[in-house]
Amino acid sequence: DQQVKQNSPSLSVQEGRISILNCDYTNSMFDYFLWYKKYPAEGPTFLISISSIKDKNEDGRFTVFLNKSAKHLSLHIVPSQPGDSAVYFCAALSGGSGNTGKLIFGQGTTLQVKP
């Protein structure tokens, strides 16, 4: 049972435009949601997070939106840059932010930003 789903395996965007990556989840008890970026042959890098009590969090070019009623979140990258080309993973924190919490990842979306 896939609790966190990223239904788009890939996305291609022109440089300077907006990239929107989507994520759906099934468990309403998740406390936090996180986005990670992964380059080939490297481990995932933490990008941005959002608490389940908020609906928006912004950090520079990156904004995450959370719609709890729809169990949906999205990552917006504006403006997109070629260096943003990577695999993006959505993850949900289960079990609280304490030491027993664990991350459940989506399948990932490969973003390609064309110059």
Closest separation between CB of residue 34 and another protein, Å? 7
Beta carbon nearer to another protein, 6 or 19:
6
Please say whether the dihedral angle defined by the alpha carbons of residues 22, 98, 26 and 106, taken in this order, is positive or negative. Answer: positive
Beta carbon nearer to another protein, 49 or 71:
49
Closest separation between CB of residue 113 and another protein, Å? 21
CA neighbours closer than 13 Å in the CB half-sphere of residue 68:
12
Q: Is the peptide bond before 79 cis (omega within 30 degrees of 0)?
A: yes
Closest separation between CB of residue 91 and another protein, Å? 7
H helix and E strand count, the chain: 0, 11
Closest separation between CB of residue 55 and another protein, Å? 18
**Whole-number Cα distances in Å, 10 to 6, 13, 46, 87, 115:** 10, 10, 20, 9, 17
Beta carbon nearer to another protein, 9 or 16:
9
Q: Site residues (CB under 8 A) for another protein?
A: 4, 6, 9, 32, 34, 36, 41-46, 49, 89, 91, 93, 97, 99-100, 102-108
Beta carbon nearer to another protein, 62 or 79:
62
